[in-house]
Amino acid sequence: MKIAMLARNAKLYSHQRLKEAAEERGHELDIIDTLRCYMNIASRRPEVYYNGGKLEGYDAVIPRIGASVTFYGTAVLRQFEMMGVYPLNESVAIGRSRDKLRSMQLMARDGIGLPVTTFAHDAKQTEEVLKLAGEAPLVIKLLEGTQGLGVVLADTNRSAKSVFEAFRATNTNILIQEFIKEAGGTDIRAIVVGGKVIAAMKRTGAEGEFRSNLHRGGSAQVVKLSSEERATAVRAAKSMGLNACGVDMLRANHGPVIMEVNSSPGLEGVEKATGLDIAGKMIEFLEKNYKTGNTRTKGRG
């Protein structure tokens, strides 16, 4: 196969591992800076250009699109899809997962376990929204945040009200969620590829930090999932329509609850914690499934 990877930073561990895994299997993989692509949106002749030349002859594309460039990145990916290039994850699925509100609504529709989550526009409804979410502590999240950024833990109802009103005063959209105390500052990331959980790790936040992201000083170790946790992770990936993703969940008293589904999960933490070849599994999925024009949405949506 000839594979294009859409990524901003070719030197990241995850991107180097995917390139290495592809080449070990005899494939050619080019890392293409997403923002340096430009498109000719012509009827029946979709084209993508890069560094002055036309990108063509690719069998598959791996989108590693950063959250800050989701809009342009998914536009480029759609163009590849319309050219018949098979994507590891489709543009529509990435769009679903990047919209925190939309992803929560889709998973709620499908009956997947979630923390109590509330959303409102008018700051005058603060009291009612906080009451729906439950008693403090409460977690307040920016819809556009990633890697733990834009997430605030409000210890009291009064502070939760202040934070909510402050964000709404700047016309910033936020979610308010119950705080799962029993998780004890840890969460689980399950890697799902092709409808199966292929690896899982438990992440523990740094001392005094309620967020467990490895980027924020958290640590990781291999973890054994229950059958319910495995099923929940697979259902969450299916709800988003993602072929390969990281599913972040908490162990609540009433069962696993999903926090986020990540369409471009980092590979370093989970590969080092589990010793597994996650990059190789993703390339293997492409080998088994790629076919010209074989996308569910074909760039629609």
pTM of the entire predicted model: 0.88
Residue 168 binned pLDDT confidence (cut-offs 50, 70, 90): confident
Lowest mean pLDDT among 83-87, 158-162, 171-175, 216-220: 216-220
* pLDDT exceeds cutoff 80 at 150: no
Contact 130, 138 (CB under 8 A): yes
Q: Tell me the three state secondary structure of residue 119.
A: coil
Rounded Cα gap, residues 215 and 15, in angstroms: 17
Could you give the C-alpha distances from 9 to 16, 105, 201, 296, in angstroms and in order? 10, 32, 25, 28
Mean pLDDT of the chain: 89
Q: What pLDDT, on the 0 to 100 scale, is given for residue 299? A: 47
Maximum pairwise Cα distance, the chain:
60
- Residue with tokens 């999925």, as numbered in its chain: 285
* Domain, as residue range, for 135: 117-179
Q: What's the CATH number where 89 sits? A: 3.40.50.20
pLDDT digits (tens, 9 = 90+) for 60-76: 999 999 988 999 999 99
Residue 175 within a domain: yes
What b-and-e string marks burial along 209-223, b requiring 16 or more CB atoms within 10 Å of the CB?
ebbbbbeeebebeeb
Mean pLDDT value of segment 105-115: 96
pLDDT band at 174 (very low <50, low <70, confident <90, very high): confident
Q: Which amino acid is at 234?
A: V
| 271 close to 16: Cβ distance less than 8 angstroms | no
Question: What pLDDT, on the 0 to 100 scale, is given for residue 294?
Answer: 63
Which CATH number fits the domain that encloses residue 275?
3.30.470.20
Greater pLDDT, 208 or 70: 70
What pLDDT was estimated at residue 77? 97
71 belongs to a structural domain: yes
d(C-alpha 17, C-alpha 168), whole Å: 41
What is the CATH classification number for the domain harbouring 161?
3.30.1490.20
Of the candidates 183, 170, 155, 174, which has an alpha carbon nearest to the alpha carbon of residue 252? 183
Find out whether 167 and 122 touch, Cβ atoms under 8 Å.
Answer: no
Residue 159 within any structural domain of the chain: yes
